[in-house]
């Protein structure tokens, strides 16, 4: 397991109202009533066709270490919570059931990516930390995958550590970017903690510290002959940067029998410059020296550069990845969907004047239907938890809002996406390493149609409801709105 809390006590890393509600349930004798919550999101960042789910590993770690120390309990008492309630927290033992889609899964709005069942006081306390982990890491994994898809097979490296909003943003952001498809990170701690490949480069201050660019390049090549990457735009890429780099390669590396790794261009018209640089390096006898490009890149700039024939072997992306600058919010929410009374599940719904905020009630299962011949994903279907989709029979998909829009599918494989993570508070999930998560992510995104993956006006991938679940939702809406049947 990837241990990432770094010794910090995160039990109070939540919002006051979570404890206020938990205390209220405790005082009213409701703390042990079983409730069901769904964690889902409402919109895909950057108006994309799908998001990449990430953050589960840190959620698991948090839950495993969810205990309250005496200083936590004293702080709560100092802020008005009763002795009885803090005694309850002192003996806290997590007993909930938790299901989740695996990390790296492409996911869509309004479908549960995590499902929690357990005593209401416990389930309520999970809300903030689940959202923190899922919202941030899913945001960065989704952005990284957009960059990787724009690069069309050319490597994308994450260099956002210095641009991140905080230590945790940099730390977990690197992991999420790697899941989304980046080849590695510039961050040492992230590389060590998560076993992510570490990517190195030179920066401009090294060049500025020497009397000449040539001297700076030579000294760097002497110090790092096996990993020599030179930044060539400190003064003038074509007039001095590349000529001095070639001289340093000839004078320092060649006598040692070494070859340069790459040169980096960080300013100017990189498409134009990369073509010129490629020709200069080839003519100088360094066709194997790669060209890395940086300078506030995003998926649209990368796409344009490729269309214009840029000779780039690696795109280095920092601020616009680690902060998802063009769309910096992930709209995750955590909503109550059912409770248990007298051994039966009672569905609950959250209505709103904003129709898009109406929740889907009941304890549910999430299926993904794959075409048996092509392997491509057809649609996702939410059912009641005990419903089974029979693959041997045609299945009717219908839009839950526009029910006349129907489609019958057959020859499909139905796969449950929600898998058990905790049962009765015990972790039953075998966590894959981050490399395996990254590979799984790539495989699952390959199963999406290209129309869903395009950047502009992507095809809407439907998350449908089963007939039984749709009727439960419809009946609850009518009941709460006073509709006569």
Same domain, 87 and 228: no
The secondary structure element, H or E, covering residue 156 is: strand 155-158
Rounded to the nearest 5 degrees, what angle is found at the Cα of 180, between the Cα atoms of 179 and 182? 90
Residue 7 forms part of a structural domain: no
Same domain, 293 and 159: yes
Q: Which of 272, 303, 322 is the last residue of a domain?
A: 322
Same domain, 416 and 380: yes
Residue 3 forms part of a structural domain: no
Same domain, 151 and 126: no
* Polymer length in residues for the chain: 485
Q: Which of 266, 295, 322 is the last residue of a domain?
A: 322
Q: Digits of tens for pLDDT over the chain (485 positions)? A: 345 555 688 999 999 999 999 999 999 999 999 999 999 999 999 999 999 999 999 999 999 999 999 999 999 999 999 999 999 999 999 999 999 999 999 999 999 999 999 999 999 999 999 999 999 999 999 999 999 999 999 999 999 999 999 999 999 999 999 999 999 999 999 999 999 999 999 999 999 999 999 999 999 999 999 999 999 999 999 999 999 999 999 999 999 999 999 999 999 999 999 999 999 999 999 999 999 999 999 999 999 999 999 999 999 999 999 999 999 999 999 999 999 999 999 999 999 788 888 999 999 999 999 999 999 999 999 999 999 999 999 999 998 888 999 999 999 999 999 999 999 999 999 999 999 999 999 999 999 999 999 999 999 999 999 999 999 999 999 998 876 55
Residue 180 forms part of a structural domain: yes
d(CA 99, CA 162): 35
Residue 369 forms part of a structural domain: yes
Same domain, 316 and 333: no
Same domain, 302 and 426: no
Check residue 1 and give its pLDDT: 39
Instruction: Label residues 284-301 b or e (16+ Cβ within 10 Å = b).
Output: bebeebbbbbbeebbbeb
d(CA 162, CA 205): 15
Our count of domains for the chain comes to 2
In this structure, the dihedral spanned by the alpha carbons of residues 141, 144, 146 and 151, taken in order and rounded to 10 degrees, is: -150
Check residue 5 and give its pLDDT: 57
How many Å is the Cα radius of gyration of the chain? 26
Check residue 4 and give its pLDDT: 52
HEC string of 292-332? EECCCCCHHHHHHHHHCCCCCCEEEECHHHHCCCCCCCCCE
Structural domain of residue 273, as residue ranges? 146-322
Residues with Cβ within 8 Å of 66's Cβ and at least 6 positions away in sequence, in order, are: 11, 92, 94, 125
């Amino acid at each position: 397991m990837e241990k990432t809390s770094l010794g910090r006590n995160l039990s109070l890393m939540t919002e006051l109202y979570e404890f206020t509600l938990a205390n209220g349930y405790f005082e009213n004798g409701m703390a042990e009533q079983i409730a069901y919550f769904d964690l889902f999101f409402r919109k895909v960042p950057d108006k994309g066709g799908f998001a990449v789910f990430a953050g589960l590993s840190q959620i698991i770690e948090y839950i495993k270490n969810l205990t309250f120390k005496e200083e936590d309990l004293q702080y709560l008492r100092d802020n008005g919570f009763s002795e009885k309630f803090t005694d309850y927290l002192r003996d806290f033992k997590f007993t909930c059931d938790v299901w989740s889609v695996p990390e790296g899964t492409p996911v869509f709005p309004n479908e549960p990516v995590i499902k929690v069942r357990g005593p209401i006081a416990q389930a309520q306390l999970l809300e903030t930390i689940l959202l923190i982990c899922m919202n941030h890491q899913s945001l960065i994994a989704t952005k990284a995958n957009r960059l990787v898809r724009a690069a069309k097979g050319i490597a994308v490296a994450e260099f956002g550590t210095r641009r991140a909003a905080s230590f945790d943003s940099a730390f977990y952001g690197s992991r999420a970017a790697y899941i989304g498809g980046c080849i590695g990170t510039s961050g040492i701690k992230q590389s060590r903690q998560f076993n992510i490949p570490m990517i190195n480069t030179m920066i401009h201050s090294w060049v500025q510290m020497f009397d000449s660019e040539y001297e700076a390049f030579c000294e760097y090549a002497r110090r790092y002959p096996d990993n020599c990457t030179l930044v060539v735009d400190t003064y003038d890429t074509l007039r001095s940067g590349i000529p001095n780099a070639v001289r340093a390669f000839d004078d320092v590396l060649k006598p040692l029998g070494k070859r340069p790794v790459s040169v980096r261009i960080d300013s100017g018209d990189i498409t134009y410059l990369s073509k010129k640089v490629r020709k200069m390096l080839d003519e100088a006898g360094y066709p194997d020296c790669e060209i890395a490009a940086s300078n506030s890149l995003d998926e649209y700039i990368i796409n344009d550069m490729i269309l214009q024939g840029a000779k780039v072997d690696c795109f280095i992306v920092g601020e616009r990845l680690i902060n998802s600058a063009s769309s910096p919010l992930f709209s995750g929410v955590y909503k109550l969907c059912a409770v248990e009374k007298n051994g039966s599940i009672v569905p609950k719904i959250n209505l709103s004047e904003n129709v898009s905020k109406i929740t889907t009630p009941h304890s549910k299962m999430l299926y993904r239907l794959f075409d048996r011949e092509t392997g491509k994903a057809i649609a996702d279907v939410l059912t009641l938890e005990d419903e089974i989709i029979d693959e041997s029979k045609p299945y009717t998909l219908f839009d839950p809002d526009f029910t006349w829009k129907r489609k019958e599918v057959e020859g499909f494989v139905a796969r449950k996406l929600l898998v058990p993570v905790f049962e009765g508070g015990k972790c039953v999930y075998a966590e894959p390493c981050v490399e395996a998560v990254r590979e799984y992510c790539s495989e699952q995104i390959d199963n999406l149609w290209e129309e869903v993956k395009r950047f502009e006006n992507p095809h809407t991938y439907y998350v449908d409801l089963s007939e039984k679940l749709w009727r439960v939702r419809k009946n609850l809406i009518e009941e709460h709105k006073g509709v006569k049947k």
